[in-house]
């Protein structure tokens, strides 16, 4: 059974029409009871996503369907399986057709290998896609129209405001709350006391002023507040428009700044006056660092180095003074991990890979001879035991159906008992999947390491020949999952070691291999 909410369901819930998944589950359980189907597993999609990639439960369902685990799948309507991209609809249709898995709805049962059912199924998906696009266009037009009228169309109010329904009209506007005083303080400190962003952050943290979610302010949060025209009574739309691009043959979503965004006078009251806003804008424009090329990676360790103290991803800090070398630092204001020059950390990472390779090559033969077969056997025994439990539970389910047919159980008793047994089966099947995945990990331990060795050898050979940080970064990400960094003492004394920091490398092999 597959359950998923649509946008219309979410809107119905806000009107108090009940929880959608629970209503659909009851409807499909009643259908299963009526036509004598036993439910082996329920997939509950609790996230909203246009594509298969964004919906983890449909991914699990399709994987199980391809394995031939189910004779049929119950859904409220076929559109719940795929309503987004045409490519996704094709993936769903192909999975059900090849595995000969039926799609069962309250209105109709679809046999994917029946010519007429297949055509009907594909037509239904096509029409649902058209309906989705029509609804989406209408929503976008409605949002643009609301922005032009000065209404606030965001789902979450910016810091300093709360979102309120407009009386006597559709839509929302903003109303100042207690946070607005903090917004004024931030602007005043930056505009009139000539403080840097870091100094503003330090000052408001010392004053005990709190952000909405975290305990302490960070530079990024303050920077966003200083750049948001909502505080001078404006509303904006498409400031960061979603753009889809292919990177390394994968479709990813990005939200770059859009120069053609909509900016209109809002219905809400401003927190900041125009004079203060102009001063802040002028100061921010002077402090902007020149960027050679949009989205160019300047840090060869980008996305790899994590703070060993707080766990936050560390960043590259460039300087307007070109004589100063970039450093790598943790931007968590509560963290006291000390920064280092970027090139020192990069050199240590390469040296760490070289040592890992030498150690591995020395121990490889011995490691092969000491493979622990008992662990694999133990996992295999556990899987067999779980499979026997599943068989017992399925036998129980069959008896429950028999008791319903001969009148021993009422419909209420049947529903209660069958739900309990089905949940046990689903739990056991999940455990089997977990142990099978663990078994697979154990079996590929040495294969994973053996594959990694030539990759590291290649990296060490060509790394210094690469011309750009982006090329180096892409190559490092093929062999490293992450690097942790720790430095507790500043290298400020004469003859002190600037590399007095500790890094830990995590090679890109299966967790069972580390």
Element housing 63 (H / E): helix 56-66
Please give the pLDDT value at position 291.
Answer: 47
- State residue 512's pLDDT score: 39
CA 75 to CA 73: how far, in whole Å? 7
Residue 153 exposure: Cα atoms within 13 Å on the Cβ side: 20
Q: Name the region of 238 (left: φ>0; alpha: ψ -120 to 50; beta: rest).
A: left
> Which value, to the nearest 10 degrees, does the dihedral of the CA atoms of residues 94, 100, 104, 109 take?
100
The token pair at 33 is 């009871």
Q: Which DSSP symbol is given to 215? A: S
Which of 487, 489, 514, 492 is CA-nearest to residue 503? Answer: 487
Beta bridge partner(s), residue 329: 315
Biggest alpha carbon–alpha carbon distance for the chain:
92
Token couple for 492: 């400020």
pLDDT at 507 exceeding the cut of 90: no
* Neighbouring residues of 318: CB distance < 8 A, sequence distance ≥ 6: 289, 298, 326
Query: Tens digits of per-residue pLDDT, 251-296?
Result: 666 666 666 778 889 999 999 999 999 999 888 877 655 544 456 7
Total H helices, total E strands in the chain: 14, 17
pTM of this structure: 0.48
Contact 216, 205 (CB under 8 A): yes
Percentage, residues of the chain above pLDDT 70: 82
């Amino acid at each position: 059974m597959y359950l998923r909410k649509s946008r219309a369901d979410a809107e119905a819930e806000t009107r108090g029409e009940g929880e959608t998944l629970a209503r659909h589950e009851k409807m499909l359980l009643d259908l299963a009871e009526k036509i004598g189907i036993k439910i082996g597993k329920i997939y509950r999609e609790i996230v909203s996503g246009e594509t298969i990639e964004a919906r983890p439960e449909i991914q699990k369902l399709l994987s199980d369907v391809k394995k031939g685990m189910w004779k049929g799948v119950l859904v409220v309507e076929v559109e719940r399986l795929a309503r987004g991209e045409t490519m996704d609809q094709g993936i769903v249709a192909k999975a059900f057709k090849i595995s000969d898995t039926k799609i069962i709805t309250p209105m109709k049962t679809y046999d994917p290998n029946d010519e007429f059912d297949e055509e009907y199924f594909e037509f239904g998906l096509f029409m649902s896609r058209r309906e989705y696009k029509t609804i989406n266009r209408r929503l976008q037009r409605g949002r643009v129209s609301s922005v032009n009228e000065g209404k606030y169309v965001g789902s979450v109010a910016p810091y300093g405001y709360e979102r309120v329904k407009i009386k006597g009209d559709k839509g929302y506007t903003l109303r100042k709350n207690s946070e607005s005083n903090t917004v004024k303080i931030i602007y005043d400190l930056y505009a009139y006391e000539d403080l840097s962003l870091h100094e503003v952050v330090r000052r408001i943290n010392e004053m005990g002023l709190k952000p909405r979610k975290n305990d302490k302010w960070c530079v990024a949060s303050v920077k966003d507040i200083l750049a948001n025209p909502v505080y001078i009574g404006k509303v904006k739309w498409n400031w960061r428009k979603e753009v889809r691009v292919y990177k390394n043959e994968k479709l990813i979503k990005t939200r770059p700044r859009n120069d053609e965004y909509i900016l209109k006078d809002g219905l809400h009251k401003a927190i900041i006056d125009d004079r203060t806003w102009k001063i802040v804008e002028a100061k921010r424009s002077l402090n902007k660092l020149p960027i050679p090329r949009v989205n160019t990676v300047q840090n060869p360790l980008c996305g790899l180095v994590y703070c060993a103290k707080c766990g936050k991803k560390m960043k590259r800090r460039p300087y307007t003074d070109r004589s100063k070398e970039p450093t790598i630092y943790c931007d968590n204001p509560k963290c006291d991990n000390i920064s280092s020059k970027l090139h020192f950390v990069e050199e240590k990472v390469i040296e760490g890979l070289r040592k890992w390779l030498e150690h591995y090559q020395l121990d490889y033969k011995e490691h092969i001879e000491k493979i622990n077969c008992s662990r694999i056997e133990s996992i295999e025994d556990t899987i067999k035991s779980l499979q026997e439990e599943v068989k017992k539970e399925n036998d129980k389910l069959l008896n429950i159906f028999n008791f319903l047919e001969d009148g021993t159980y009422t419909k209420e008793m049947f529903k209660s008992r069958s739900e309990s047994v089905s949940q046990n089966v689903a739990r056991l099947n999940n455990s089997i999947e977990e142990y099978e995945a663990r078994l697979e990990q154990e079996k590929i331990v040495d294969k994973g390491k053996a594959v990694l060795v030539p990759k590291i050898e290649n990296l060490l050979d060509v790394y210094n020949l690469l011309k750009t940080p982006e090329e180096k970064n892409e190559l490092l990400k093929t062999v490293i999952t992450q690097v942790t960094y720790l430095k507790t003492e500043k290298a400020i004394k004469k003859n002190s070691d600037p590399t007095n920091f500790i890094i830990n490398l995590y090679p890109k092999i299966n967790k069972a291999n580390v």
